[in-house]
């Protein structure tokens, strides 16, 4: 009677995480990241793990630290694309997936995702927000800071 209980415990502890990891890999391998873009200046979101960004070419850099499989992060993706397209040349939009590479999370000292960090042309942080950030609120903040 005791062995079946141990079997289910082992199955739960070892097989469930393995199954979840495999399904996540399958989802990531088959689909393109919805915010992926190759050129920031043409109005695309830069998806990168490179921390050496050139902030001087844009009035502000909007950095989203999140993950592809995080619900509030997914909700931010259309907002990031719209801002990148509507303000190309003025606002650089960058996405770091901190589940794939935790280095950007450490670099920007984040504890929760999504976190949005706004950096000016001098490389100075001008604003930070944690959680879902509606487009209207982002634009309002940028106007208050004199960026738009």
Q: Is 22 a catalytic residue?
A: no
53, 70, 88, 148: which one is catalytic?
70
Q: How many CB atoms lie within 10 A of CB 57?
A: 12
Q: Of 96, 95, 90, 104, which Cα lies nearest the Cα of 139?
A: 90
End-to-end CA distance of the chain: 69
The verdict on whether omega for the bond into residue 5 sits within 30 degrees of 0, i.e. cis, is no
Catalytic residue among 45, 60, 63, 73: 73
Count Cβ atoms below 10 Å from residue 125 Cβ, excluding itself: 12
Residues carrying an active site annotation: 70, 73
């Amino acid at each position: 009677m005791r062995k079946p209980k141990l079997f289910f415990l082992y199955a739960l502890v070892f097989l469930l995480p393995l199954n979840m990891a495999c399904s996540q890999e399958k989802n990531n391998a088959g689909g393109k990241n919805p915010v992926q873009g190759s050129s920031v200046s043409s109005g695309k979101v830069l998806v990168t793990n490179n921390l050496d960004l050139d902030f001087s070419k844009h009035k502000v850099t909007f950095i989203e630290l999140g993950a592809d499989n995080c619900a509030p992060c997914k909700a931010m993706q259309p907002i990031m694309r719209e801002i990148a397209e509507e303000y190309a040349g003025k606002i650089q939009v960058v996405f770091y997936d901190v589940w794939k590479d935790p280095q950007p999370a450490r670099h920007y000292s984040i504890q929760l995702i999504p976190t949005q960090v706004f950096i000016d042309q001098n490389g100075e942080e001008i604003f930070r927000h944690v959680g879902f950030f509606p487009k209207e609120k982002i634009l309002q903040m940028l106007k208050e800071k004199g960026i738009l």
